[in-house]
Chains A and B, each alone.
Chain A
Amino acid sequence: MQALAAASLTVANGEFVSVMGPSGSGKSTLLGLIAGLDVPSSGSIHVRGRCVSSMSDDEATVFRRQHVGFVFQRFSLLPDLTIEENVGAALMLDGRGDAEIQACVEEALRQVALWERRRHLPAEVSGGELQRAAIARALVAEPAVILADEPTGNLDSATGERVLLDMRRTVDEYGRTILLVTHDPIAAAYADRTVHLRDGTFQRSSGR
């Protein structure tokens, strides 16, 4: 049983690509493969020139922390850390200096207009702000790619729009690369192009 068969996808630096498909089409498998969380049975995955699919678990873990940002449908921030602590957590694991971490965290929070809320705990901010904090955390290490899995799935439409506009801005003004998996055609419209995944293969693509 193949989740993804004969699938080939190239995402350029600074591109915002959305992947649409019904459930069971292989969307989550795709993200897992790119992140090095799964190993393909054939074929290969390359991110910024590194072959992710042939890394060991340890190599993949470090690679993920340094080069891949994640934004999930559920907010997944640590409840006992402030927004700024949550955003800076992964940088601390990499052994960066305090001043550098502070600078990176500020830059990331300003990109999503959350610097003023940095000292709050997750329970003290709204759903939309939590998701924007998740985006800040995803981009703080200046990753090669940000993988977003239905980031607006739990948000109401107006809040979701805010999050998507922030994502668009990180691409337009800061040159980030984003791969967004969604079933929502409006969310997909925020990307430069949309690729359709159906029964494990990429079928149609439209875009700039």
Chain B
Amino acid sequence: MSVRYAVLGLLTSKAMHGYELKSRFDEATGGFWQLNFGQIYSTLDRLEREGLVERVVEEDDSADRKVFRITVKGRDKLDDWVLRPVAHSRALRDDLFVRMLFCDRSAPEPILRMIARQRDAYEIEMRKLVKRKAQLERIDGDGDTLMTDLLMDAALFHAEAELRWLSHVEQKLEGTWIRRFEKRRR
């Protein structure tokens, strides 16, 4: 969903061709979310069919320099979407939870190992995010990188929330296993 709106959003500043859309998108998302040209062009085609963007015809138009600009309908649709609140927490459709669901639950070790590995993975990711933030802070002149910085922060806070959940899971599972073990002993 947000790829369409990201493309519309980028086109509000000026008409662009696919190459510029990709590089501006990559830059805005701090290098953490890259689109490929296939996604961009198929998105542009769909948006054009819906009347939200239109092709700009240039005199020296060559086959691969298709420039697109946003239409009035496109601007309205974007404004609408920007102000619409997000319906539900993304966490309810979580990969990690599905993994946990199908982990061997007869013994605690596999899940605890999985949790430990997930923690390490988050630590590495968070370190990368912070490093990128520090780089952006050094090069930032006019606050151009604020949005990207905020995106890094979103990722950091999400990771922190996941880590808290993992601790919580460990505590609850350990509690359950202890009770199960004690029941068997009686």
Contacts and interface: CB of A to CB of B under 8 A. Distances in A.
Q: Do A and B bind each other?
A: yes
Instruction: Give the most central of A161, A165, A189: most B CB within 10 Å.
Output: A189
B157 A186 contact: yes
B159 A185 contact: yes
Nearest to A193: B127
B123 A185 contact: yes
Q: What is the size category of the interface that chain A forms with chain B?
A: 10 to 19
A140 B161 CA distance: 36
Contacts of B134: 165, 168-169, 172, 190
Query: Among A194, A204, A206, A207, which residue has the most Cβ atoms of chain B within 10 A?
Result: A206
Interface in A10-45: none
Contacts, number: 44
29 contacts: A161-B133, A161-B153, A165-B137, A168-B130, A168-B134, A169-B134, A172-B134, A185-B122, A185-B123, A185-B126, A185-B159, A185-B163, A186-B126, A186-B130, A186-B157, A186-B159, A186-B160, A189-B123, A189-B127, A189-B129, A189-B156, A190-B134, A191-B127, A194-B123, A204-B119, A206-B120, A206-B124, A207-B123, A208-B127
Interface of A: 161, 165, 168-169, 172, 184-186, 188-191, 194, 204, 206-208
Given A188-B126, A206-B127, A208-B127, 12 more contacts: A161-B133, A161-B153, A165-B137, A168-B134, A169-B134, A185-B123, A186-B157, A189-B129, A189-B156, A190-B130, A204-B120, A207-B123
A-B complex: 8 closest residue pairs judged by Cβ atoms: A189-B126, A189-B130, A206-B123, A189-B127, A206-B120, A186-B156, A185-B163, A190-B130
